[in-house]
Amino acid sequence: MAERKIGTVVYWQNLSPILAIFRLTPESGSPFPDYRAGQYIALRRESCKLTKRAIGPDGQVDYVPDLDENGIQKRGPVTHSYSISSAPFETQQTGQLEFYIILEIDEKGEPGRLTDSLFRIDSEGNYSVTYVNRITGDFTLDKRATGFQSVLLVGTGTGLAPFASMIKQLHHEFSEGKPDGVQYTLLHTNRTYAELAYHQEFMAIEACQRFDFVYIPSVSRPGPRDLDDPKMGKGRANNLLRYIFEMPLKEEQMLNEAVARGEDTSKAKAALEKTVRPVLPQHLSRQALEERLNPSRTVILTCGNPLSMADIKFIADANRIRFEKEDW
């Protein structure tokens, strides 16, 4: 079993109250293991608010605060794996790992145990993060995309992290050599412009064209600056894909299915009314993207929100496109 070591957070950037990028340095005298773009590492904090498993009156499993005899929530270690958003060449140059994370909030409004501790790093002044000294995972281009001429990467929210590592690494590798002939397309959606991590960097990589790369940024809650930005898409990732492949929106499909079953359609209609209609950046055409993503030569790799990934799988299956997702 790989040993645990203690690293130090040396950089923290809040993109919003619930989204951040941070960098971790390794334990002194012990560099991080080598890795491939798309892999992950287990992180741990020692003083997390603990919960325990409970069965509710309805038989449903729930997780509630684990309290001591004085009614105070217990604290202890919690470990979770995170995809690395830095590229391997960056870690070789700086010695650091970078992560793009979200403060997880459950349906009761309670923050996730580990992410709550991470987001309190600065206020508590404790910058130590324990890590398992092993980087692993097979969500890599050589494992999931070999043999395909077109690779579509779909990252929702912080699901962008493995793809950020991949795109930056490809840009670096092709700086002095010939491209591999593969077309890479990145679709990244988040709620707001501020939360689109690495946005400017991806735009610069696309402009360089060291390899065949198309970047499709989109916000699901567009504001005035987004409506005035011709390079910004609008709508959720799954609905943008549905638009590219000339499929009805997810909400339209749900409404049609409710009508076909003879069910009450009020909720489906309300969901459709609130849906942001998909709009591509103005310099990209639906027809060109549909041709670029020809099912016979394309694989879709996705990471992020489980509901979005499930619908993206539905889209891939409907168009007979190979589908791969990040699973731990």
pLDDT per residue as tens digits for the range 184-221 = 999 999 999 999 999 999 999 999 999 999 999 999 99
Of 58, 78, 57, the residue nearest 66 (C-alpha): 78
- Residue 31: the pLDDT is 96
**Which residues, given as ranges, of the chain have pLDDT below 50?**
none
Phi then psi for 23, rounded to 5 degrees?
-120, 140
Domains and CATH numbers, the chain: 4-136 (2.40.30.10), 141-325 (3.40.50.80)
Which residues are within 8 A (CB) of 305 and not within 5 positions of it... i.e. 6 or more apart? 156, 157, 159
- Residue 1: the pLDDT is 62
- Residue 65: the pLDDT is 81
- Residue 71: the pLDDT is 85
How do beta strands 40-49 and 183-190 pair? unpaired
- Residue 40: the pLDDT is 98
Indicate yes or no: pTM above 0.85. yes
pLDDT digits (tens, 9 = 90+) for 116-160: 999 999 888 899 999 999 999 999 999 999 999 999 999 999 999
Q: Report the distance separating Cα 246 and Cα 252, nearest Å.
A: 13
Q: Which residue has the tokens 């993207």?
A: 289
Burial class, 34, CB count within 10 angstroms (exposed 0-12 / middle 13-18 / buried 19+)? exposed
- Residue 29: the pLDDT is 85
Of 43, 57, 61, the residue nearest 5 (C-alpha): 43
- Residue 328: the pLDDT is 61
Q: Specify the 3-state DSSP secondary structure of 40.
A: strand
- Residue 199: the pLDDT is 96
